Chains A and B, each alone.
Chain A
């Protein structure tokens, strides 16, 4: 019977997986080369469901790859390039050893290199696939561009990353696609909407940081290699969609205004152009000169499958977005030395504003501090010596909060020396019943319109400031009807307390117009109450339990709001003292 029996581990999952060392030997590559190849091609190790079967009975932790993936790798042309490079290194070392300097020179000139274009085309067959994967690439590129150019990783890579980062930022500025910014303790998070895809990336702060030792730099360098290639192609295509020249050139007008006498002070001749681009203060040249025509009012027809309501909401959203894109239009900013110049320049220009800085700070400043038409001067110091009259001196958080709130916030809270309101995260979507910080409530109120503010202004004269603040907060969290009633009741109570006679008289009755919607709602509520009363004891018990669970959120939110109020009340005397001092 020998030979016809089925042996263990000869078919099934045991033959579908291959361990890392076996895969490496199959490809005849060194471990570093194998890892590089896997990263470039996008081959990831798999965790098999039944490790014992795949590992042929042992449970030793091993890294497994799918056998079909490794077989696919065998057809890759750059595997040959890796082997060539290995041989090149060997020959070079021999030539060095034998002191054949002409040979060394010749070989260095003919160093084998590989291109990753076909890999990018294979991994991202359409442009939209590439755009979806670009946020990882962006974070990595911006991270590498902040590295010091000591030579630990190729200086060329750092330069390429910087160039690609600047190109991307210029594209976002020209297309006005930035939506959210968040300053965190790690770095600055940006979110933009490009071709319908939401892209989030993080940029580290420009301060020097020491590098952690437990990070594998070779792996990160390989990722960067792949991502720089991807980002380059994506940039090219994006620039094409906007009819911009690639590699980017400054617009003729902008270039002229940027030409200053002492260009050599900033950068070498070869680098001055790229530095001017990096300054982000001028617009880019277009291939097709754009004609500024008025936006014709198109007849809006509902798209397929959309009813009138959805179309209207979509239109509304588009209008809001267009309004948001022009947030800083017409405003002129000046950045002081101590604020993060690049980040602020990027954000301000993304929303249509003009920005400049001191000439000695960086190349590309368009106007001076003494310019009369500057509307906002961004400072981060406690005080400033020279103050011009017709401009606001504000802290940088105002810009970011305006972007997140999509409106121009009142400048008073961001003056120099004032305790700033907290910088809220725009990436948090609060569902109903969750705790909403009062600053966010204020922001929402401001967004809805000036109405809640106007109501309170009238009562400011009579009451103290403290009570007014409380009432503001209270009123905003209740329904509008109740707010009106309470306001009127408060007035009446106040009058009684002051000893005035109430102006209540018996007047002929007025016919109140019946609010049909209101009556319907009341009827429904009544029916619900009746149904609840008619439930059996057991069912009522269950119902109570369910409602208890549902209202937990609301209860917690109320608790937190009460805590916050207590905290504010405790701090109010301190605030008052501070105000009196200033």
Chain B
């Protein structure tokens, strides 16, 4: 439009440009950065973003996931490597490992000792074979029989102890019933003798002060006693010479006794090593002997019925070797009793 033509500048000199508008304060830096990026890209090194982007697109194309998931320990296809090979990956400088907190703490030697001398797998006695020899089978049966006998004895003992109370009560009922009926001489209650009361002086009764005489007498008595004692000691020492034989005999007896006790204690200590220790609230219950009675014995391997469970056997073996403590199933105890209430709908029915 004509108005636009009029408004256009008619000077051939151009308006001065505002340099500040075009200035970039860090133009040089940016130029350097872009040049470096171009140089690296030419070599093949990409910035991290580009790399991740490329990885992601490649993974998406092939269908794998980018992140490395931690492999579970019990994965059946897990790979094993040589753990004890000399060339371990962690053969860096120990100082470096310590500073970067990668060094593992040394395991104390005490933990490498086994807690029990028993072997890990104890083989059953020869009587436990599926087709046992007659005598070894009888031995095994005898052992089981003895265990049963012990249990029975303990039960009987308990029953006996309970019965005794009742028996004694029975004895006394007759006497109770008969009391007061039989005419015997009245047993007179003993009168306390009045004489003795007077002469017995209370401990805090009036005690007169000791006179000088009494003190001197007591002192002389004491000195005499001491002297007598010393004399007696001297005489004893001399007489011990003649008692040498009996003294040596008694000393020998004592030594023998201590030796016996020492030996017994040592034997007990050795036995303790193979016994299960008491590690917690419950005592160790020896597992029942696995034994098949004579009529249960199998005639062939096909008709064998296995006795006992190996799971239980392994569990008990772990307890016996002091590796775990015997525990029972945890009970669930309610703190407050459950409250039951009927729904209103049901209450209305009745």
Contacts and interface: CB of A to CB of B under 8 A. Distances in A.
Contact of B73 (A114, A183, A215): A114
B78 A186 contact: no
Contacts, number: 227
A189 B126 CA distance: 12
A223 B318 contact: yes
A160 B278 contact: no
Interface string A169-196: 0000000000000111111010000000
A495 interface: no
Nearest to A396: B301
A411 interface: no
Contact of B135 (A236, A396, A435): A435
Contacts of A156: 72, 74-76
B87 interface: no
Interface string B262-306: 000000000000000111110000000011100000001110101
A388 to B, nearest CB: 21
A80 interface: no
A156 B304 CA distance: 31
B336 interface: no
A547 to B, nearest CB: 23
Contacts of B300: 380, 395, 420
B85 to A, nearest CB: 9
Interface in A564-582: 564, 567
A207 B304 CA distance: 10
A44, A68, A246, A435: most-surrounded residue (chain B CB, <10 A): A44
Interface in B66-115: 67, 69-76, 78-84, 104-105, 107-108, 110-112, 115
Interface size class of B (residues with CB under 8 A): 35 or more
Contacts of A189: 121, 123-124
A558 interface: no
Contact of B304 (A77, A136, A185, A229): A185
B306 A117 contact: no
B57 interface: no
Contact of B306 (A114, A187, A235, A338): A187
A546 to B, nearest CB: 18
B329 to A, nearest CB: 7
B129 A186 contact: no
B290 A185 contact: yes
Contacts of A223: 318
Contacts of B322: 44-45
B120 A135 contact: yes
Contacts of B67: 110
Contacts of A61: 278, 280-281
Contacts of A127: 84
For the complex, would chain B's binding face be called helix, strand, loop or mixed by DSSP majority? loop
B302 A380 contact: yes
Contacts of B126: 424-425, 427-428
A338 B302 CA distance: 7
Contacts of B292: 185
Interface stretch (B4-12, B147-155, B230-238, B308-316): B308-316
Contacts of B76: 156, 159-160, 163
Given A185-B307, A212-B311, A214-B329, A233 B302 contact: no
A143 B314 contact: yes
Contacts of A340: 301
A377 to B, nearest CB: 15
Contacts of A229: 73
A117 B83 contact: yes
B243 interface: no
Contacts of B315: 215-216, 219-220
Nearest to B72: A113
A437 interface: yes
Contact of A115 (B73, B120, B310): B73
A220 B104 contact: no
A126 interface: yes
B179 to A, nearest CB: 46
Interface string A197-228: 00011101101010110111001100101001
Contacts of A207: 306
Contacts of B104: 75, 77, 118, 122
Interface in A460-479: none
B258 to A, nearest CB: 21
A39 B324 contact: yes
B104 to A, nearest CB: 6
A422 B83 contact: no
Nearest to B88: A121
A357 B72 CA distance: 37
A425 B123 contact: yes
Closest 4 CB pairs of A and B: A425-B126, A159-B76, A113-B70, A136-B120
17 contacts: A39-B324, A44-B115, A63-B279, A109-B65, A130-B84, A139-B314, A184-B124, A185-B291, A187-B306, A200-B119, A205-B304, A339-B302, A422-B134, A425-B125, A425-B126, A425-B128, A564-B135
Interface of B: 65, 67, 69-76, 78-84, 104-105, 107-108, 110-112, 115, 119-121, 123-126, 128-136, 277-281, 290-292, 300-302, 304, 306-315, 318, 322-325, 327-329
